[in-house]
Amino acid sequence: MGVLDNVKDKASAAIETSKLNTKISSEQIEISAVMKQIGEFCYKKYTETGKADEGIAGFCKTIDGHNAAIAEAKAEIERINAKIAAASAPAPAAAAATGTVCTVCGKQNLPNAKFCIECGGKTAAPAPAPAAAAGGTVCTVCGKQNLPNAKFCTECGGKTGVAPAAPAAASGAVCTACGKINPPGTKFCTECGGKTGVAPASAAAAAGPVCPGCGAPVAPGVKFCTGCGAKVS
């Protein structure tokens, strides 16, 4: 019995026709998929052997041309992306000669930085380094000039740059332990804490403050010992 025998009216005919058209489209899709598989199979053989039937060789070469165009487009995309990335990358900041210096660790920071990027300590503008006079030492952190051969700054406790020691003055106090020449009137050596060969100039000098770390006498107003760097209370 044919399809038309079961059609009762135009509506039924339209429904059946739509179903048949859907079936036809589905079968055509399946055919296209198989044709694609056939083409891929033939092209694979062509790429492996370099040979193909005369009718197929032309199609394979056309595909080669499309693949070459795709590869060129991908390479251009990579060049564009690399150019954009290079343009977007932040330029490295050059260290300014006038950058601030950390008062805790001595690290050089960017200009106007209030806190150190290394340890979080407060920063200060670097003071111009004065020339060391008569063998005096200069603090590498705050620039303060200290006594000759002092290892630590009396102002901030930072390390000092040792300059050549000045010749001993006739009235200088010489340490009996290490031989260091100390300022006149010094009772104990500022380097090792040993006794010096010259008595204190006055009773007031003998009764001056001493370092809680090494016991060496320190000058009034000094914040850190020049011999061991300990804080003077």
Q: pLDDT exceeding 90 applies to what percent of the chain?
A: 2
Query: Cα 13 to chain center, whole Å?
Result: 77
CA gyration radius for the chain? 46
Query: Which residues does 108 contact at the CB level (< 8 Å), separation at least 6?
Result: 95, 99, 100, 101
pLDDT for the residue 92:
55
Residue 82 carries which side chain, given as an amino acid letter?
A: A
pLDDT for the residue 93:
52
91/112 Cα distance (integer angstroms): 20
Q: How confident is the model at residue 173 (pLDDT cuts 50, 70, 90)?
A: confident
Q: How confident is the model at residue 1 (pLDDT cuts 50, 70, 90)?
A: very low
Judging by DSSP bridges, how do beta strands 181-182 and 101-102 pair with one another?
Answer: unpaired
User: Per-residue pLDDT tens for 124-148?
Assistant: 876 655 544 455 788 888 888 878 7
Average pLDDT over the chain reads 75
Query: Which residues does 174 contact at the CB level (< 8 Å), separation at least 6?
Result: 168, 180, 181, 182, 196, 197, 198
216/199 Cα distance (integer angstroms): 15
User: Per-residue pLDDT tens for 110-126?
Assistant: 888 888 888 888 888 76
Averaged pLDDT, 72-101:
75
User: Per-residue pLDDT tens for 27-67?
Assistant: 989 888 988 998 899 889 889 998 888 778 888 888 888 88
- Quick check: 172 and 200 in contact, CB under 8 A? no
Bridge-partner residues for 101, per DSSP? 108, 124
pLDDT for the residue 29:
92
Whether this prediction's pTM lies above 0.75 is answered by no
11/29: higher pLDDT: 29
Nearest to 123 by CA among 153, 161, 156, 154: 156
Residue 95 has pLDDT above 80, yes or no: no
Give the 3-state secondary structure of 31-92.
Answer: HHHHHHHHHHHHHHHHHHHCCCCHHHHHHHHHHHHHHHHHHHHHHHHHHHHHHHHHHHCCCC
Residue 169 has pLDDT above 50, yes or no: no
91/175: higher pLDDT: 175
Averaged pLDDT, 206-214:
70
Residue 181 has pLDDT above 60, yes or no: yes
157/25: higher pLDDT: 25
- Quick check: 173 and 198 in contact, CB under 8 A? yes
Residue 200 has pLDDT above 70, yes or no: no
pLDDT for the residue 149:
77
